[in-house]
Amino acid sequence: MKDFGYQVHRDNTIDFEKNDFRIARFLLEREPSLNLCIGCGSCTGTCSTGHFTEFNIRKIHTLIKRGETEMARKQIRQCMFCGKCQLICPRGINLRNVILGINRALEKI
Ligand code: SF4
Ligand code: SF4
């Protein structure tokens, strides 16, 4: 195929028929402050693990809210639980509780 210097992104529609929202529901009940996220990425920018790996906490919690849990299952254990993301979050989201909630949900679901 001809290289045009850019590529078409895959369809990013939320599929309410296929996506699994059980973890999102569990998480938002446990930590409703996650609803305040504006997706600024400060948590990812300051993340200790993210400096050295592909770990991206904003992507993980955003995808979970979309019902896409695969990345969380693969990566969430890499979090060192240092809490820097929580300190920097402009919306005051309790991110350590979010991460704990993701871990708990993945154990149960
Ligand atoms: S820093 Fe807070 S508001 Fe910004 S993306 Fe992370 S969780 Fe959302
Ligand atoms: S608590 Fe986890 S997600 Fe937050 S900055 Fe530390 S390593 Fe990154």
CA gap 34, 25 in Å, rounded:
11
pLDDT at residue 101, as a whole number: 97
Question: Tokens 């929580």 belong to which residue?
Answer: 86
pLDDT at residue 52, as a whole number: 95
99 CB within 6 A, ligand 1? no
The tens digit of pLDDT for each residue in 57-89 reads 999 999 999 999 999 999 999 999 999 999 999
Q: Which of 37, 47, 99 to mutate to test the pocket of ligand 2 (most atoms within 8 A of CB)?
A: 47
Inform me whether the pLDDT recorded for 26 exceeds 70. yes
Inform me whether the pLDDT recorded for 3 exceeds 90. no
CA 45 to ligand 2 centroid distance, Å: 10
Question: Tokens 């402009």 belong to which residue?
Answer: 90
pLDDT at residue 5, as a whole number: 87
CA 65 to ligand 1 centroid distance, Å: 13
pLDDT at residue 1, as a whole number: 64
Nearest to 31 by CA among 40, 23, 39: 23
Kindly report the protein residue whose alpha carbon is nearest to atom 2 of ligand 2.
79
Whether pTM > 0.85 for this model: the answer is: yes
Of residues 5 and 57, the one with the higher pLDDT is 57
Nearest to 74 by CA among 102, 101, 96, 41: 102
Inform me whether the pLDDT recorded for 10 exceeds 90. no
43 CB within 6 A, ligand 1? yes
Question: What is the average pLDDT score of the chain?
Answer: 94
Class of 22-108 per CATH? mainly alpha
